[in-house]
A and B are shown apart, each in its own frame.
Chain A
Amino acid sequence: MAGQAIIETKDLSRVYNHHRAVDEVSFHIEEGEVFGFLGPNGAGKTTTLLMLMGLTRPTSGTARVCGLDPVRQAKAVKAQVGYLPENVGFYGDLNAVQSLEYIADLNALARREAAEKIRDVLEVVGLKESMGKKVGTFSRGMRQRLGIAEVLLKDPKVMFLDEPTLGLDPDGAIRIIELIQALNRDRNMTVLLSSHNLYQVQKVSHRVGIMIAGRMVAEDSIEALGKEKLGVEGQEYSLEEIYMKYFQEV
């Protein structure tokens, strides 16, 4: 890993009616890493992701995603970045394959190529047996995995996963986390993982960023943060301790 910065922001801000939802956030994500994006609810994580996707216009500041400007080249950015929103929705009356076909259509994939890819991604997320079932009957864990399959369909360079394990049972959550690890390892996928589950984040992330009240208060590897905040090295410690420390400071 340790490649070039694939995502870079500089003083990125978004103001809603005098409320600074995102306040001069500068950070970078390197190619091929899993970046854990932490912070309490309403800290501005989703807004930051939307700005990186070009779905929301920043009030000020700039961002580069895969060398592109999300404000001016939104379509090109969206072709390379896969976004799994929090509580992703599906058309309940379509089955898994039809859902993926629609996404393939939107991504302008040719029919034959799409059919092949759909089989492939269903295999990867482990939904091959349920491919003919209507999405309306899917469990929450299956929906999340289908969401990841939809993201994978366009062969993204970067994946933004917003709370992918929220509300999942432990088994479902572990499957998602293992899937993220496998994608990162086998396909060198860069992943931006936003989550409240610090244990899971610690397990997969190379580096983490902590965002509180619109500001990025920390951005480094977990070891470095542990050294800085807890003054420990090589000992057993959890990301939770670091996180709480930052949280209390603010």
Chain B
Amino acid sequence: MQGLFAIYRKELSDHFSSNRFVILFALIAMVSFITSYMAGINLRENLEGVAKPKFVFLMLFNTPGALFSMVQFVAFFGPLIGLVLGFDAVNRERADGTLIKVVSQPIYRDAVINGKFLAGASNIAIMVVSIVLVIAGFGLTLLGVVPGIEEVWRLIFYVIISIFYISFWLGVAILFSIFFRSIATSALASVALWIFLSFFVSLGASVLADTAVPVEQKEEARAEAIMKNVRIKEGVSLFSPMVLYSKASATIIDPMRKTTRSFVLLGPMEQLSAARFQNPLSLGQSLVVVYPYMVALVAITLLCFAISYSVFMVQEIRT
């Protein structure tokens, strides 16, 4: 345990004193600041003279300001935090010849991996929490609305999901830094995987679905084909952690969302019947909706960590 704490402390202080961290934090703080400011301005304009809806406060996070909402921003660029924090975690030490020195001290070898992962995850937690707090404080002054207790809880869950999501990418980056001896290779590989999983999987999902079950314009059997098509599309796109995360976080942050899925083909009658249930979901029900997504996120994070762990434990360290 002593070795773990020593490495954890060292890594954490390395992170905090690195220019990389400062730049990253400044960038993210700035973007989230602007995003929430735009969202706040929009909200204030739209809500003028209208009876205030419930959960105005959460709208700060899920209303698109200029281009995207805060939730979308984290979904897109959160992984970058994890990747930047982890892509050279192990192979830089290997290249510098410090890894062999550390593992020849009386510690268990897993302390190196655990310490690095925990330090990165703590770093991520600090970033996410502080940004959410900044936006929340900002929103207080901008909107003049105080969040209710349920809104606070929803934000807490949002923060937890975000930490796991970004930690997953940290785990991927650390895994690649164990696999690849070259720092440039591990950086490229992790960015490539990020782009693939975040952007190309959703594209591929629609292509796959359209090939498997083409939606024809003919009237008969149309509904069934469309259902099948959509199911395939959603099933495939769940391979993307970004989709998992966006669905989970959007549902947690927006009580009016009752499902993680998007509706298809709302006819007038369906719209009418859906409108009868216009009340927000309770927190518990929202959690039930996103529970599988949360479990999947935690599972892939742990899986990634477990792979790094088992690879590192049997790897030969000579430098």
Instruction: List A residues at the B interface (Cβ < 8 Å).
Output: 46, 50, 53, 55-56, 75-76, 78-79, 83, 85, 87-93, 102-103, 105-108, 150, 154
- Report the Cα distance A75→B108, complex, angstroms: 7
- Report the Cα distance A105→B6, complex, angstroms: 6
Known A-B contacts: A92-B96, A106-B102. Give 15 more (CB < 8 A): A53-B104, A55-B317, A75-B106, A78-B104, A79-B106, A83-B100, A85-B101, A87-B319, A88-B97, A89-B97, A105-B5, A106-B7, A106-B106, A108-B2, A150-B101
Q: B3 → chain A, closest Cβ, in Å? A: 6
- The reply to whether A106 and B96 contact each other, CB–CB distance below 8 Å, is no
- Report the Cα distance A46→B319, complex, angstroms: 11
Chain A residues lying within 8 Å of B44, measured Cβ to Cβ, are: none
Q: Which residue of A lies closest to B100 (CB)?
A: A85
Instruction: List B residues at the A interface (Cβ < 8 Å).
Output: 2-3, 5-7, 9-10, 17, 93, 96-108, 316-319
- The reply to whether B107 and A106 contact each other, CB–CB distance below 8 Å, is yes
- The reply to whether A102 and B6 contact each other, CB–CB distance below 8 Å, is yes
- Report the Cα distance A172→B319, complex, angstroms: 23
One of A46, A75, A88, A93 near B107 (C-beta < 8 A): A75
Chain B residues lying within 8 Å of A87, measured Cβ to Cβ, are: 97, 319
- Report the Cα distance A88→B98, complex, angstroms: 7
- The reply to whether A154 and B9 contact each other, CB–CB distance below 8 Å, is no
Most chain A CB neighbours (cut-off 10 Å) among B98, B104, B107: B104
Q: Can you list 19 residue pairs at the A/B interface with Cβ under 8 Å?
A: A50-B318, A53-B104, A55-B100, A78-B104, A79-B106, A83-B100, A83-B104, A88-B101, A89-B98, A89-B99, A89-B100, A89-B101, A102-B10, A103-B101, A103-B105, A106-B3, A106-B6, A106-B7, A154-B106
Given A85-B319, A106-B3, A78–B97 Cβ distance below 8 Å?
no
Q: Which residue of B lies closest to A90 (CB)?
A: B98
- Report the Cα distance A11→B105, complex, angstroms: 26
Q: Which residue of A lies closest to B316 (CB)?
A: A56
Most chain B CB neighbours (cut-off 10 Å) among A46, A102, A105, A106: A106
Q: Which residue of B lies closest to A104 (CB)?
A: B6
Q: B13 → chain A, closest Cβ, in Å? A: 10
Total contacts A-B at CB 8 Å: 69
Given A105-B9, A106-B3, A85–B97 Cβ distance below 8 Å?
yes
Q: Which residue of A lies closest to B95 (CB)?
A: A89
- Report the Cα distance A91→B92, complex, angstroms: 10
- Report the Cα distance A242→B229, complex, angstroms: 80
Chain B residues lying within 8 Å of A105, measured Cβ to Cβ, are: 2, 5-6, 9-10
Chain A residues lying within 8 Å of B318, measured Cβ to Cβ, are: 46, 50
Chain A residues lying within 8 Å of B98, measured Cβ to Cβ, are: 89-91
- Report the Cα distance A55→B313, complex, angstroms: 10
Q: B232 → chain A, closest Cβ, in Å? A: 45
Chain B residues lying within 8 Å of A106, measured Cβ to Cβ, are: 2-3, 6-7, 102, 105-107
Q: B183 → chain A, closest Cβ, in Å? A: 14
One of A55, A91, A102 near B104 (C-beta < 8 A): A55
Chain B residues lying within 8 Å of A75, measured Cβ to Cβ, are: 106-108
Chain A residues lying within 8 Å of B104, measured Cβ to Cβ, are: 53, 55, 78, 83, 85
Q: B316 → chain A, closest Cβ, in Å? A: 6
- The reply to whether B96 and A89 contact each other, CB–CB distance below 8 Å, is yes
- Report the Cα distance A150→B93, complex, angstroms: 17
Chain A residues lying within 8 Å of B108, measured Cβ to Cβ, are: 75
Chain A residues lying within 8 Å of B2, measured Cβ to Cβ, are: 105-106, 108
Q: A115 → chain B, closest Cβ, in Å? A: 16
Q: A44 → chain B, closest Cβ, in Å? A: 12
Q: B156 → chain A, closest Cβ, in Å? A: 34
Q: A46 → chain B, closest Cβ, in Å? A: 7
Q: A199 → chain B, closest Cβ, in Å? A: 26
- Report the Cα distance A56→B100, complex, angstroms: 11
Chain B residues lying within 8 Å of A50, measured Cβ to Cβ, are: 318
Q: A41 → chain B, closest Cβ, in Å? A: 14
Q: A5 → chain B, closest Cβ, in Å? A: 22
Chain A residues lying within 8 Å of B102, measured Cβ to Cβ, are: 106
Chain B residues lying within 8 Å of A108, measured Cβ to Cβ, are: 2-3, 6, 106
Q: B238 → chain A, closest Cβ, in Å? A: 40
Q: A6 → chain B, closest Cβ, in Å? A: 17
